[in-house]
Amino acid sequence: MGCEGPYLQLRPLSGGREWDADPSRVRALTSEELLRARLAEANARSRTGLGVQRLQPSLE
């Protein structure tokens, strides 16, 4: 997310409150972790209907 003094400011991929992290203890996500996070986000959107276009039945 950004930097504040000697710390990195991080936020969960799904949103939420940020926190400060020591840069020496941070690493990039593995491809498996990134895929898992993206899949969880897509599943959550499909359950709530966000980003899903629903067809309206014709009234004619």
Q: Which amino acid appears at position 46 of this protein? A: S
**pLDDT at residue 42 in the model:** 86
d(CA 27, CA 24): 8
CA–CA distance, 60 with 51 (Å, rounded to integer): 27
Asked if pLDDT for residue 50 goes beyond 60, the answer is: yes
Mean pLDDT throughout 6-15? 82
pTM of the model: 0.54
As given in the structure block, the two tokens for residue 23 are: 């840069």
Mean pLDDT, to the nearest integer, of 10-17? 80
